[in-house]
Structure 1
Amino acid sequence: MTSTVLPGQWVDHAPGPDDFAPGTYNMSISTERYTSPEYAARERELLWMKVWQFAGRVDELPKVGDWKVYTIYDQSFVIVRGKDEKLRGFVNACRHRGNVLCQGTGNTKRGFLCQYHLWSYDLEGKLKGLLREADAGPLDKDDNSLIEVPVDTFGGFIFINPDPGGAPLSEWIGVEAMAILAPYRLDQMVTVMNVREPLDCNWKVVLDAFDEGYHINGIHPQLLAVLEIDPATSRYRFFENHSIAMAPFEVRGANADKQVEGIMALPETFPGTAAVIPRFQELVKPYTADDGSVTFPEDVTARKLLQQATRDTLTGMGLDVSGLTDEQMSDNHGWTLFPNFFMTIRAGECHVIMAVPHPDGDPNRCIWHVASFMYLPPEISDQFKVDLIEVDEPGSYKYFEALHQDYVQMPRQQLGLRNTKLDHLTLVKEEVVIAHFHSVVDRYLSQEGSK
């Protein structure tokens, strides 16, 4: 009998925080990279104009002619679905006098028309016609078609790269990383939360915050009543540009009653677990005495029952989770896809945190974007799908508790980073993902890397 090795089993042989020799990564991070306009200007040209970055979900552009605008700093691009169903990206400027072609989102069956002098382009970006064309003089339409930039998709996400000479998206993400993510069925998930707003901190403060669990004791005290935090059990996988971090989901409490109590409290902080609780209660019932107390035999834990309940619930909904391990039923894996895409993912759901520099170039500001996705049966998924919410008034949108705590903390950190006497940060070993992330930033800014 042969056993099938699942992609999620990478954790079984992955290094922990004690397995990285001193000096593997630089654990001293300069504060100028968070506050210096000069540093931010180098990032713009050497990093942001060279990398793949999230631009939306495939289901935002389902029909031929659907388009949306993506901007980074003052650079504007339009992404459109062509007649051949392919998504393409173009510099959002007419080739005649540079007028912006599109703003926001929309649909065009015939192509793009510049309102300034009525030059028109088809969905493939080719110049079709222009006002008084016969009198325009010598003009090569091919040479004056829209400027194309790379657009590609993975896992239902749209990515765009301002650099036409960059590596393909599949090479950028990597075969191994894509294989690990495939069983989660990201491309079949539906957007259930989608919020974007300006935030008073550097974009890297956001990535740093979600690249470690060291802060849980400080700003997420409610989680300590539910979860056991043991950094020694964390496992990591580092790629050239990206990383994965995993900490086992361990419920606090030595006895069965406390373990079950912790699981029952999960929906308050992790809303996605609510659908699993009824099945979990069914599985606990055989171990429950008449007085309500719970006793587990040696080979049963609340964590194992949560894993079974999750698999049973998702499978019962007609969803395929056969490619995921039991541990992936309960454990969140934290992915950092460089430069700004952080995702926690477990069976049935994922949550994405992103941040880009503020368009005005101020290193003390960014635009953060949070989105949640769920793997749901197609017949009910539309009931849960939401549109993007753009928040104009700080603090007016109410995030769930743990996310709100991060939202409040990050601008406080930026205030501290602006102190000129503070010239560096010191990382501890369980912040090794942050150190890896900054090593990739360093590689780009030293012009050593192009992938």
Structure 2
Amino acid sequence: MPATRPGDWLDPASGLGLGLDDVQPGTFNMTIPTDRYTCPDYAARERDAIWLRSWQIAGRVDEIPKAGDWKRYQILDQSFLIVRGKDDVLRGFVNSCRHRGNALCITETGNAKRGFLCQYHLWSYDLEGNLKGMLRENLAGPIDKTENSLLPVSVDTFAGFIFLNPDPDAVPLREYLGDDVVTLLEPYNIDQFTVVMDVKEAIECNWKVVMDAFEEGYHINGIHPQLLQVLHINPATARYRFFENHSVAMAPFEVQGASTQEQVEGMLALPETFPGTVAVIPRFQELLAPYRDDDGKVEFPDGVTARALLQQATREVLTGMGLDVSNLTDDQMVDNQGWVLFPNYFMTVRAGECHVIMSAPHPDGDPNRCIWHVASYMYLPEEFRDAVRAEAIVVDTPGSHKYFEALQQDYEQMPRQQKGLRNNRLDHMSLVKEEVVVAHFHSVVDRHMAAAQS
């Protein structure tokens, strides 16, 4: 096993991560204007400054596995197609016929083995976007086919996700993510994860309210009291890394000062919130057994902790399933690292599973509404993946879908915040130091908005 791993950044001795006290006052603006959540004019400027210029996740690679498979990606009033070519290359195009602008595809997914056919006037395109045929072509006049191919859009992949950037001048995806982000995420093997939950729903809040909610643990005491058994955001133990556009933060799954019994009971209850721990709990219980007395009470000798046993159980179970976790540290066996990939992707990831929150402006442009997309993924042997793969759900009736406990609590909270933000006299939010990731995120928003005006 390697002497050092990318996950070792959590060790203060590495000099790579920051503690909360290392973030000096004034590093980020902690006062956030509220008009960015409610103002239609601000939302319109965001469309051009952020959504039409940023790399954003449009799906998973395994959604379009065969030649001709395509999916549509919609952001506000802009529509794009992503298709797998006969050469196995993924390509993106503006979802408009070059003749009169008719939308080529109006459903979410499909297969176009023979290419795309515009139903309006029967112009046709191959999977590389080239104009191949026109109705009554001999009478069409001087139409240069080479000048009327579908308009290309930048598409690339990372960690099993398809990224799309509407900007014709977009920098390459790897440059946008940065070498550090790629290096830190690759050991999880997320490209081999399988979707086990996939839900989209319109929700009554701004897309940034969603991002803010998942970028801090300051709300856990108020909204998620059940998590306090295993997770307490302690400024002394939380670690951060900030990149040009993105960030990662970590708080250990361990409650300092809690009794051994409380720690154990909290970890045994983890499957209620983190389904990926279901397979690990039996091995965890086996490792606990030597330390239980006849009454079931657990007592550890010096050097043994519930956290260390959960780490051991996780590594043993995943390795026993033939999954590669060799480049992950013991901390990464149990600790969720919270990643923010600008503009709208939040992910908690630990060995064997990740949970993703994405939010995007509502297609009608109302800043008080957005589409939130929640998904969970698990690292499983290939022979089990099809059996657990979840179908995508689009919720049409608000409140009809029940999420797992912690997510349901956030779902109910976020519209309440939006209602408060709409009060005219509230012109700013005041962040506390523990919300430094939120502050960093808004500094990136500010930079992108300013760049579009320069």
TM-score (norm 1): 0.98
**Which residue is equivalent to 1:65?**
68
Moved more, 260-269 or 301-310: 260-269
The residue identity in structure 1 corresponding to 2:248 is I
Alignment of 1:408-423 (within 5 A): 408-423=412-427
Aligned residue in 2 for 1:339: 343
Task: Name the residue aligned to 1:209.
Answer: 213
For 1:36, the equivalent position in structure 2 comes to 39
Distance 1:178 1:348 in 2: 18
Alignment RMSD (CA, Å):
1.3
Q: What is the CA-CA distance between 1:448 and the residue it aligns to? A: 6.5
Q: Which amino acid in the other structure matches residue 127 of structure 1?
A: L
Matched, 1:447 2:451: yes
Which letter maps to 2:51? Answer: W
CA distance in 2, matches of 1:286, 1:253: 23
1:106 maps to 2:110: yes
**Aligned partner of residue 275 in structure 1, secondary structure:** coil
Contact 2:49 2:452 in 1 (8 A): no
Alignment of 1:160-175 (within 5 A): 160-175=164-179
Aligned to 1:432: 436
Q: How does 1:264-283 map to 2 (within 5 A)?
A: 264-283=268-287
Would the aligned equivalents of 2:229 and 2:262 in 1 still touch at CA under 8 Å? no
Paired amino acid for 1:9: D
Q: Distance in 1 between matches of 2:233 and 2:373?
A: 27
Is 1:18 paired with 2:21?
yes
Q: Return the letter of the residue paired with 1:82.
A: G
How far, CA to CA, are the matches of 1:105 and 1:259 in structure 2? Answer: 46
- Offset at 1:174? 1.1
Give how far 1:294 is off: 1.6
TM-superposed CA distance for 1:252, in Å, is 6.3
Counterparts in 2 of 1:31-430, with a 5 A limit? 31-103=34-106, 104-251=108-255, 254-430=258-434
Distance 1:248 1:430 in 2: 15
Given that residues 37 and 368 in structure 2 are in contact (C-alpha distance below 8 angstroms), is that contact kept between their aligned partners in structure 1?
yes
Identity among equivalent pairs (%)? 70
Cα shift readout 1:62-90 (whole Å, capped 9, x = no counterpart): 00000011000111001100011000000
Distance in 2, matches of 1:319 and 1:21, equals: 41
Tell me, in whole angstroms, the C-alpha distance in 2 between the residues paired with 1:308 and 1:165.
47
Measured in 1, the distance between the counterparts of 2:232 and 2:72 equals: 43
Task: Say whether the 8 Å CA contact 2:232–2:251 is kept in structure 1.
Answer: no
Q: Is the 8 A contact 1:18 1:429 kept in 2?
A: no
CA-CA distance at 1:4 after TM superposition: 1.9
Cα contact 1:200–1:366 (8 A) shared by 2 = yes
Aligned to 2:279, the other structure's residue is in SS state helix
User: Which consecutive segments of 4 or more residues in structure 1 shift more than 6 A?
Assistant: none
TM-superposed CA distance for 1:226, in Å, is 3.6
Amino acid of the residue matched to residue 76 of structure 1? S
SS of aligned partner of 2:280: helix
1:47 partner SS: helix
1:289: Cα distance to partner? 2.0
| Structure 2 Cα separation of the partners of residues 248 and 263 of structure 1 | 13
Q: Which runs of 5+ in 1 are unaligned?
A: none
1:192–1:371 CA contact under 8 A, matched in 2: yes
CA pair 227-252 structure 1, distance change in 2 beyond 3 A: farther
TM-score norm. by structure 2 comes to 0.97
Do the aligned partners of 1:253 and 1:259 also contact (CA within 8 Å) in 2? no
Matches of 2:204 and 2:260, distance apart in 1: 44
